[in-house]
Structure 1
Amino acid sequence: MQLCYIANMADTASDIFAALAHPTRRQILQDLKDGELAAGEIAARFSATGPTISRHLSVLRQAGLVAERREANRILYSLVGERLALSVGNFLSTVCPEQIVLREVRKRTTSRPSTSTSEA
């Protein structure tokens, strides 16, 4: 059971990093950080054809990095930022264990009330 979970996690990470590999897809994610955009609005920001942008959006959607919803005859896309943050964070924690320690140190220092003591 756990082995299956690890394999699925690896597949998910592979999908996400494959989606992030293309500069157009990274730009789409950056454009969506300010809010939902219609497919036509996204396509208008690029010199690529509509079908090419549609394929990029499909890759992002399959990786779970964007969500889509239909409104009348428009398809609206939004960023699923927490999925990106968690996946990249998990990867970094795996390959850079010191990041875990740094995160814990930051948690402790921000959760403690600051007290200033002066020693003479």
Structure 2
Amino acid sequence: MQQLFKALNDPTRRKILEMLKENELTAGEIADGFNMSKPSISHHLDLLKRAELVEAEKKGQFVVYSLNTTILEDMLTWILTLKH
């Protein structure tokens, strides 16, 4: 859970999640939405993968990233249990 909150604490990573909400994208397509280096985007993607917020799948010579909604559903369920 700590990695999840750490990943969500950064505006760049939240924007990446917003982008992936619409469509699966390659790292290059994600990087095109930012004014930062590709290694920086790769670092953000790595943190999102470690938090299990995104999944990466090799398709040909590209790695395609998609949103992992399961972890978000688990987090929301946990938050709702705190409401008592």
- Paired position in structure 2 for 1:89: 77
Give 1:1-120 correspondences, 5 Å limit.
13-94=1-82, 96-97=83-84
Q: CA deviation at 1:38?
A: 0.7
RMSD, aligned CA: 1.1
Aligned length: 84
Q: Equivalents in 1 of 2:15, 2:80: separation in Å?
A: 22
Can you list the C-alpha shifts for 1:15-67, whole angstroms capped at 9, x where unaligned? 10010000000000010011210110000000011000000000000010000
Can you list the C-alpha shifts for 1:3-25, whole angstroms capped at 9, x where unaligned? xxxxxxxxxx1110010000000
Q: Equivalents in 1 of 2:5, 2:72: separation in Å?
A: 10
Structure with the larger RCO, 1 or 2 (CA within 8 Å, 6+ apart): 2
- TM-score normalised by structure 2 residue count: 0.92
- TM-score normalised by structure 1 residue count: 0.66
Can you list the C-alpha shifts for 1:52-103, whole angstroms capped at 9, x where unaligned? 0000000000010000011121110000012112213313422x22xxxxxx
Counting aligned pairs with the same residue, the percent is 39
Q: Equivalents in 2 of 1:46, 1:75: separation in Å?
A: 18
Which runs of no fewer than 5 residues in structure 2 stay unpaired? none
Question: What secondary structure, in the 3-state scheme, does the structure 2 residue paired with 1:33 have?
Answer: helix
Please tell me whether the aligned partners of residues 16 and 84 of structure 1 are also in contact (alpha carbons under 8 angstroms): no
Runs of 4+ in 1 over 6 A off after TM superposition: none
Q: Equivalents in 1 of 2:74, 2:38: separation in Å?
A: 30
Name which one, 1 or 2, has greater alpha-carbon Rg: 1
